[in-house]
Amino acid sequence: MKKTVLLNLLVCLCVSCSPKSALKETAGYCLTGAFLADAPTKSDIARFQSAYGKKPYLVLVFIDWNNLPDKNVIADVYGSGSALMVSWEPWEAKAKRGIDFKDIYSGKHDRYLTEFSKRLKAIQGEVFVRFAHEMNGNWYPWSGGKIGKETFVRTYRYIKDFFDKEKVLNVRWVFSVNWEDVPAESNSFLDYYPGDSYADFVGIDGYNWGTTRPWSRWMSFREIFEPRYREISGRIHKPILITEFGCAGPDQDKQHWIRDAMQAMRSLGDIKGFVLFNQDKEADWGFVLGTAAQRELAIQLKDPYFKESIREATK
């Protein structure tokens, strides 16, 4: 390939080309990622790299309504050569109080949208945004079953159109769903899909809770993710991200689980990135230094299929 063609390709990947069209030019890969802390730092990223052998390219943060991504977090993440994945949650998180979506698409929150879009536009790199994730569940105030399918889609499109109007070209939009529809009846994740021009990726969240809850059981990565992966691949035809995943359980069980999970991601070729929830939160999702599970994850990440940056993945 001539140098001029290669340079043009790299410019498209980093600035204006859609991820799907970019992926057609590249061999198979999967970007690494993790949730490290509420306000991740350079040190958090360096510790992950030291523990597991690769830097997380996708660094997950959660931002609730009327707040903005922290400038120090942005500086540390992009200064480390990583990229933010912003879970933009339309609620007041502490009060667990939802935002009226009709107020959003009627323009009452436009000043906030302007501030948010400018904050992301100023970032020298791509930003992955997943607005109102897991809308096909019933645990958030923005759940589709609570606000209605039409309202969800209309609001999602309004926000994406707003960013387009502001010429925010570095945002990659992630339509991020739960691995199962809850409730299953009249609540398909497909009902909330805003359309191909409104999503660059489709994300899937899912966890193996093991036996940590009365309602849970041990589930493999494939058991959790593959049915939804097949639905998305067959119906939407967008690259897929595992936007949250983790495993809770005894160390050796966790070791076997993560080995199978990483092997599954290599075989499911539409998965172009993952975000490991590497924290002790609702359950002990962490792959703690010195455990068999941590060592196994480091072994799996040695595979060159798993990449530390989009440049590395697309060169």
The pLDDT tens digits of the residues spanning 166-186 come to 999 999 999 999 999 999 999
Distance in angstroms (rounded) separating the CA atoms of residues 187 and 208: 22
CATH class of 3-314: alpha beta
Residue ranges covered by each domain of the chain: 3-314
Number of Cβ within a 10 Å radius of residue 67: 15
Q: Is pLDDT above 80 for 266?
A: yes
Secondary structure (3-state) at 242: strand
Of the listed ranges 226-235, 290-299, 305-314, the one predicted with least confidence: 305-314
Given pLDDT bands bounded at 50, 70 and 90, which one contains residue 281?
Answer: confident
- Return the pLDDT at 249: 94
Q: Is pLDDT above 80 for 113?
A: yes
The arithmetic mean of pLDDT across residues 13-24, rounded, is 40
Cα 284 to its chain centre, rounded Å, is: 20
The arithmetic mean of pLDDT across residues 190-214, rounded, is 97
Of the listed ranges 19-33, 74-88, 122-136, the one predicted with least confidence: 19-33
Average pLDDT over the chain, rounded to an integer: 92
Distance in angstroms (rounded) separating the CA atoms of residues 108 and 106: 6
The span from the first CA to the last CA of the chain, in angstroms, equals 12
The arithmetic mean of pLDDT across residues 67-85, rounded, is 98
Instruction: Compute the residue count for the chain.
Output: 315
Q: Is pLDDT above 80 for 16?
A: no
Q: Is pLDDT above 60 for 44?
A: yes
- Return the pLDDT at 313: 80
CA neighbor of 261 nearest in space, from 216, 197, 214, 306: 306
Q: Is pLDDT above 90 for 27?
A: no
pLDDT digits (tens, 9 = 90+) for 205-216: 999 999 999 999
- Return the pLDDT at 282: 83
Calculate what percentage of the chain has a pLDDT beyond 70: 91
pLDDT digits (tens, 9 = 90+) for 246-263: 999 999 999 999 999 999
DSSP line for 57-93: SEEEEEEETT----HHHHHHHHHTT-EEEEEEESEET
Given pLDDT bands bounded at 50, 70 and 90, which one contains residue 65?
Answer: very high
The arithmetic mean of pLDDT across residues 182-207, rounded, is 98
Distance in angstroms (rounded) separating the CA atoms of residues 170 and 168: 6
Q: Is pLDDT above 60 for 22?
A: no
- Return the pLDDT at 5: 38
The arithmetic mean of pLDDT across residues 105-129, rounded, is 98
Q: Is pLDDT above 80 for 33?
A: yes
DSSP category for residue 115: H
The identity of residue 238, as a single letter, is K
Q: Is pLDDT above 70 for 7?
A: no
Phi, psi of 299 (to 5 degrees): -65, -45
- Return the pLDDT at 26: 52
- Return the pLDDT at 94: 94
CB 52 within 8 A of CB 299: no
Q: Is pLDDT above 80 for 23?
A: no
CB 167 within 8 A of CB 207: no
Cα 135 to its chain centre, rounded Å, is: 14
The identity of residue 307, as a single letter, is K
